[in-house]
Amino acid sequence: MHRRRRTALTVSAALLAAAPLVTACGSQAHPGAAAVVGGDRITVSTVQAQVADVRKAQGSSPQSAQLTDQSGQLARAKLHGLILDRVLDRAAADAGVTVSRAEIQQMRQSAVAQYSGEKGLQQAVLQERWLAPGQIDAFLREQIQITKLGQALGADPSTPEGTKAIGDALTKASKALNVDVNPRYGTWDNQQIQLGDYKAPWISQVTKPAQAAAEAGA
């Protein structure tokens, strides 16, 4: 059962998330900003708030020490996710893709069922994706976006060609947004869709729920 539940989060198409813990205070060009994406600031305080939510969730877990030790790059992970969210939004908009609240709720219900309850889902994503409970819906929204983006592009994310097509769309969106990252967090790589000097995992999705959600919104 445990093995089945872990494999529910499977590889899909583009990059998700993470890199190293820092105490940044903003670049000279953008004081207080961890990054500027498409002219919009992602503040250091926003990144720190997401980190604090995850640390709080980890502190409540029986595996608290292990989870904390394994997530030393949490601050960059959160900044990466915040940037990626905006890149996905741009790529989705360019492709005419939208995601409804109903789709997110449907996918969450399916994920909860796969993980034998809300608690099981929260424990899994906390361990595997460094997500606090309040961050789950945003993550699921990204999974639906990437699935529907692939559909809009006629790209199958399970194939190298499909992965490349989706990656090219994300790279185009990333370049258009002119991502500017505070040097204390690193630099943004438009080709890899990630913070430099960090090997982010591929976006993974709860496969069947994501497909169902995408079909529901088609």
CATH number at residue 91: 1.10.4030
10 within domain boundaries:
yes
- Give the chain's length: 218
What is the pLDDT at residue 207? 31
pLDDT at 166: 93
Q: Examine residue 122 and state whether it is found in any structural domain, yes or no.
A: yes
| Measured distance CA(156)–CA(135) in Å, rounded | 27
Instruction: For Cα atoms 97, 99, 103, give the angle at the middle one, nearest 5 degrees.
Output: 140
Integer angstrom CA distances of residue 6 from 73, 97, 131, 158, 190 = 22, 29, 15, 19, 30
Does 187 fall in a domain?
Answer: yes
Task: Indicate whether 144 belongs to any domain.
Answer: yes
- In this predicted structure, what is the pLDDT of residue 196? 73
- With contact defined as beta carbons under 8 Å apart, do 129 and 142 qualify? no
Number of domains in the chain: 1
Contact (Cβ atoms closer than 8 angstroms) between residue 206 and residue 8 = yes
The verdict on residue 180 lying in a domain is yes
Does residue 217 lie in a domain region? no
Local confidence pLDDT in tens for the 218 residues of the chain: 444 333 333 333 333 333 222 223 334 456 789 999 999 999 999 999 999 999 999 998 888 888 888 787 899 999 999 999 999 999 999 999 999 999 999 999 999 999 999 999 999 999 989 999 999 999 999 999 999 999 999 998 888 898 899 999 999 999 999 999 998 888 999 998 988 765 555 444 333 333 444 344 44
Domain-located, residue 27 = yes
Residue 44 domain boundaries? 2-212
Q: Is 29 a member of any domain?
A: yes
